[in-house]
């Protein structure tokens, strides 16, 4: 049994990591921004010790990590909006640096799990199947979000060189019952809102319960440390994915595939509309490019350490995720 310090416990991935840890009778200290709602954490809100603070407060992080045998850093900003460029690096890079330095400051070094993303992997021309070795340089990462996660992983393995036991989990699109319009749940929200257009790329997906299981299993097994692990159950063309969601939701599936030209026009129109409305653009250059890509993520490291691990199939994940989508109140 361990005491674990968790960030992002009020989000989709972090909340399921906490649930999985509690099944093993671990004790949890969870960082929470002041005023951040606990709705995603309502099942376990009274079972963890909440620490109000921010990733910028390295003194607080250092103090609250004392006595913890493990750290799971799942807090992150996921955005493809150019307006969030600086905030992405502040939260995802600088926040991770602070977490790592706080862990390094401990007399007894905790095992540190960083929840990264496949967006941190390098995409090179002609490469359609990417594994954990697709980790090159910041210029080969296709979005500012991915670059912020890539640079954070460099910090992770810098901390390993300084004596911290670490590993990274790189999920693809995480599917689960989050809040409508937020994070990965935004894709499900879009798919159930009777839209006319669909991108033509491949969507790689993973059930949030599988991500949580992997994090907790890796924490307990020292032979898995020191590596990054892609967590992706499979992939599906976006038109087929939207058709499945539409069928489950009782709505019409998008009918018109969007090619490169229409995609380019779409994000430009969305950006122009945002200038007049003051609202965030529904489509950005980065999100449009991501939805057009036909890349498969396949772990090379996971089968070596957990050869019997089987991902939850999409046919089981989708109905569960759709049933659990919550509306903001």
The string of pLDDT tens digits covering residues 285-312 is 455 455 556 789 999 999 999 999 999 9
- At residue 116, the 3 state secondary structure works out as coil
Structure tokens at 304: 């070596």
Quick one: pLDDT band at residue 275, thresholds 50, 70, 90?
very low
Which residues fall within 8 angstroms of residue 181, CB to CB, at 6 or more apart? Answer: 189, 328
Residue 281: is its pLDDT beyond 80? no
The number of residues making up the chain comes to: 329
- At residue 194, the 3 state secondary structure works out as coil
Quick one: pLDDT band at residue 47, thresholds 50, 70, 90?
very high
| Residue from 179, 178, 303 nearest 232 by CA | 303
Of 6-10, 28-32, 200-204, 267-271, the range with the lowest mean pLDDT is 267-271
Top mean-pLDDT range of 81-85, 209-213, 320-324: 209-213
Q: How far is CA 159 from each of CA 130, 142, 164, 221, 271, rounded to the nearest angstrom?
A: 25, 25, 6, 19, 39
Quick one: pLDDT band at residue 137, thresholds 50, 70, 90?
low
Report CA torsion sign: 180, 282, 122, 98.
negative
Domain boundary assignment for the chain? 3-176+205-235+295-313
Q: What's the rounded mean pLDDT across residues 255-263?
A: 49
CATH for 3-176+205-235+295-313?
A: 3.40.50.720
Quick one: pLDDT band at residue 140, thresholds 50, 70, 90?
low
Residue 326 DSSP class: B
Structure tokens at 329: 């109140």
pTM of the model: 0.89
Name the percent of the chain lying above pLDDT 90: 60
- At residue 115, the 3 state secondary structure works out as strand
- At residue 42, the 3 state secondary structure works out as coil
Alpha helices in the chain (DSSP H): 12-23, 58-64, 85-88, 95-104, 144-161, 185-191, 208-219, 238-249, 260-277, 285-292, 302-305, 314-323
Q: Residue 1: its pLDDT value, please?
A: 86
Q: Residue 263: its pLDDT value, please?
A: 38
Q: Are strands 202-207 and 234-237 parallel, antiparallel or unpaired?
A: antiparallel
Q: Residue 186: its pLDDT value, please?
A: 73
CB 12 within 8 A of CB 35: no
Q: Residue 184: its pLDDT value, please?
A: 67
CB 211 within 8 A of CB 178: no
Residue 91 DSSP class: I
Using CB atoms within 10 Å of the CB of residue 116, give its burial: 0 to 12 exposed, 13 to 18 middle, 19+ buried.
buried
């Amino acid at each position: 049994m361990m005491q674990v310090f968790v960030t992002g416990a009020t989000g989709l991935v972090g909340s399921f990591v906490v649930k999985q840890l509690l099944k093993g009778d671990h004790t949890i200290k969870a960082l929470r921004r002041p005023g951040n709602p606990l709705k995603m954490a309502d099942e376990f809100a009274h079972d963890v010790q909440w620490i109000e603070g921010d990733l910028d407060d390295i003194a607080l992080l250092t103090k609250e990590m004392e006595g913890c045998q493990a750290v799971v850093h799942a807090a992150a900003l996921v955005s493809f909006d150019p307006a969030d460029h600086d905030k992405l690096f502040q939260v995802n890079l600088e926040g991770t640096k602070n977490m790592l330095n706080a862990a390094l400051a401990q007399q007894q070094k905790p095992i540190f799990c960083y929840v990264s993303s496949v967006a941190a992997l390098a995409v090179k021309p002609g490469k359609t199947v990417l594994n954990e070795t697709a980790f090159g340089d910041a210029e080969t990462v296709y979005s500012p979000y991915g670059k912020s996660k890539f640079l954070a992983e460099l910090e992770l393995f810098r901390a390993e060189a300084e004596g911290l036991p670490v590993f990274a989990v790189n999920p693809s699109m995480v599917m689960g019952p989050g809040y409508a319009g937020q994070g990965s749940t935004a894709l499900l929200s879009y798919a159930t809102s009777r839209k006319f257009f669909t991108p033509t790329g491949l969507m790689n997906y993973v059930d949030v319960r599988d991500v949580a299981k992997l994090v907790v299993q890796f924490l307990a097994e020292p032979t898995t440390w020191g590596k990054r692990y892609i967590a992706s159950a499979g992939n599906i063309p976006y038109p087929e994915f939207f058709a499945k969601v539409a069928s489950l939701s009782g709505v019409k599936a998008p009918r018109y595939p969007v090619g490169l030209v229409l995609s380019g026009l779409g994000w430009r129109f969305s950006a122009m509309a945002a200038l007049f409305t003051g609202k965030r653009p529904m489509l950005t250059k980065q999100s449009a490019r991501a939805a057009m890509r036909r890349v498969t993520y396949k772990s090379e490291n996971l089968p070596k350490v957990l050869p019997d691990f089987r991902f939850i199939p999409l046919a089981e994940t989708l109905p569960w995720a759709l049933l659990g989508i919550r509306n903001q109140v």
